[in-house]
Chains A and B, each alone.
Chain A
Amino acid sequence: MAPAKKPSNRRRRLAYAGLTPFAAYVLIFLALPTILAVVTGFFSDDGSLTFDNITGLFTPTILATFGSSFWLSGVTAVIGAVVGALICYAMLGTKVGGLLRTIIESAASVLAQFGGVMLAFAFIATIGVQGLVTVILRDTFGVDIFADGVWLYQVPGLILPYVYFQVPLMVITFLPALTALRPQWAEASATLGGTRFAYWRHIAAPVLAPAFLGSLLLLFANAFSSFATAAALISQGSQIVPLQIRAALVSETVLGRENMAGALALGMIVVMVVVMWAYSALQSRTSRWQK
């Protein structure tokens, strides 16, 4: 791309110099920590090279942790994607920039960010042992949701709180794809005698499929890397990977290996890179229809 006025070499160099502050910042606070996080996994406590931490990832305990992380992320991603897509469907035909839409979009942005400690509070107040819903169900309907023991502070207890931020994230990521469905396609289909079912079956569904799968993957990654809610709810044990990292960082005695956190971080990055790579591949297919 040739600029209208060719800048002198000096100006060009000056412009390059303008990029250095940001480059230096990203190097120190993004690239360096990422490299450090991964590399420490390959060293033992006394600083010698070792694969013990990496092989430690394949012990039954850690594998089980990855297993429950996958399970939790998968379940909440599927629930979040289906419910979120339903909301997006309901919002079809509402005015872009209209009041209803602005409110739902803002609420979705807040709730998608509403991870963490506050979300844990909300669910303790709702379905905790003395929570509002727990008490109403027990006193009015005689249903004891904790009849088989209190599951809120275990991995199954994370499902509802996670769904609470997964659904809004689905709304944010999937809505643009639904909005890109052109009315002309529906008109063309109807003109040729297509029913609404035929329209969904042959036009809308194929166009939306990559966007839906992509959003599903993003939701999976979101749950997989989420830490704060789990940290606030689960104080005993480390049933999912982020909690294992906490244990490794805080106690420094997990499996007798302080650098286990590095190996766990590497494991997480590998999963995240695969998921996000698939996401961006699907995303570029999606954008074809959004021109």
Chain B
Amino acid sequence: MSANQAVRIGAEPSALARRLILGIIGAIFLIPVIAMIEFTFRNGLAGDYTTSHWTGLFSEDSARTYRGLYQAIENSLVLAAVTVGIVLVLLLPTMVLVHMQFPRLKRTLEFICIIPITVPAIVLVVGLAPVYSVVVQVLGGSTWTLAFAYGITVLPYAYRAIQSNLDAIPVKTLSEAASTLGAGWMTVLWKILLPNLRRGVLAASFISIAVVLGEFTIASLLNRRNLQTALLQVSQSDPWVAVIFALAALALAFVLLLIIGRLGAASPSRRKS
């Protein structure tokens, strides 16, 4: 028994208990991921293994064979970009404005931004169907219009990411100092606040991208093609490729969220709130 263990008085587990718990649960959670990887090397039901599902993706006619899937990925990337745009153009300035000018509206804004948790996508989509029949008439039926709905879906996540950053910097002091030195409202926003909010804005953008790339409910029930609806369709005829793309999306999301984690860890002041 180490000296460290002898003086344990609080809630902390011993190093052995920690390793056991994290090791066992971690291993169990790895099983489905391993099963997915194993599956992509299976040769149909023959019971042996092949790399053809992976190599097929890089063959010459891959672009033609999986045209629908690539188109859907493009759609999802456009949707992710427009959704991030909505967060940056509509949500961010509103949050800064409320923080600086209307502190009493802060609770209201927070309440609005967490409504999408209580009104989940499957409920929202019932009312979005009639709204989108109008949207299609005004803006046309192209896929990017779906981003208006996704902007709502990501509100709780984006709000939390930006707000924790806003709370961690002395907005009032910074903007008053800048105003005293003669800066206008726009200068304060662009040159003082935005650079200080970089972490929160990046985190909000990444989490929005991760959410949009994984979105299925709204696209499926409004009959739009995005990555997830296409994956489900492809899986009927070529489950191996569907699983390969699912793995890729999972890896991408992990990298994005790992970056968010590092961003958060790099700002010690955030942890106080």
* Nearest CB on A from B115, distance (A): 6
Chain A at the B interface: mostly helix, strand, loop or mixed?
helix
Say which size band chain A's interface belongs to. 35 or more
Contact with A along B246-269 (1 / 0, CB 8 A): 100110011001101110111010
For residue B169, CB closer than 8 A to chain A, the reply is no
The distance in angstroms between the C-alpha atoms of A183 and B10, with both chains bound, is: 7
- From B243, which residue of chain A is reached at the shortest CB distance? A121
A186 touching B11 in the complex, CB below 8 Å, given contacts A35-B127, A121-B243: yes
The distance in angstroms between the C-alpha atoms of A64 and B262, with both chains bound, is: 46
Question: Which single member of A33, A106, A183 contacts B257 (CB below 8 Å)?
Answer: A106
For residue B200, CB closer than 8 A to chain A, the reply is no
| Residues in A neighbouring B31, C-beta threshold 8 A | 126, 132-133
The 3 closest A-B pairs by CB, nearest first: A33-B127, A186-B10, A225-B120
Question: Which single member of B104, B131, B216, B246 contacts A29 (CB below 8 Å)?
Answer: B131
The distance in angstroms between the C-alpha atoms of A166 and B122, with both chains bound, is: 18
| Residues in A neighbouring B221, C-beta threshold 8 A | 246, 249-250
The distance in angstroms between the C-alpha atoms of A269 and B94, with both chains bound, is: 27
A92 adjacent to B123 (CB under 8 Å): no
The stretch among A13-21, A55-63, A141-149 that forms the contact with chain B is A13-21
A268 touching B152 in the complex, CB below 8 Å, given contacts A92-B13, A102-B262, A181-B10: no
For residue B58, CB closer than 8 A to chain A, the reply is no
For residue A150, CB closer than 8 A to chain B, the reply is no
* Nearest CB on A from B164, distance (A): 11
18 A-B interface contacts by CB (under 8 A): A19-B98, A22-B90, A29-B131, A29-B152, A30-B119, A33-B128, A34-B127, A37-B126, A93-B18, A103-B261, A126-B32, A126-B35, A167-B25, A185-B10, A186-B9, A227-B120, A250-B221, A261-B126
For residue A187, CB closer than 8 A to chain B, the reply is yes
For residue A109, CB closer than 8 A to chain B, the reply is yes
A117 adjacent to B231 (CB under 8 Å): yes
For residue B68, CB closer than 8 A to chain A, the reply is no
- From A171, which residue of chain B is reached at the shortest CB distance? B25
Contact with A along B218-261 (1 / 0, CB 8 A): 00110000001101100100010011001001100110011011
For residue A97, CB closer than 8 A to chain B, the reply is yes
Binding site for A on B (CB under 8 A): 8-13, 17-18, 21-22, 25, 29, 31-36, 38-39, 45, 86, 89-91, 93-94, 97-98, 101-105, 112, 115-131, 148-149, 151-152, 155, 176, 179, 207, 210-211, 214-217, 220-221, 228-229, 231-232, 235, 239, 242-243, 246, 249-250, 253-254, 257-258, 260-262, 264-266, 268, 271
* Nearest CB on B from A69, distance (A): 11
Binding site for B on A (CB under 8 A): 1, 4-5, 7, 12, 15, 18-19, 21-22, 25-26, 28-30, 32-38, 40, 83, 86-87, 89-94, 96-97, 102-107, 109-111, 113-118, 121-126, 130-133, 164, 167, 178, 181, 183, 185-187, 189-190, 196, 199-200, 204, 221, 225-228, 231-232, 242, 245-246, 249-250, 261-262, 264-265, 268-269, 272-273, 276
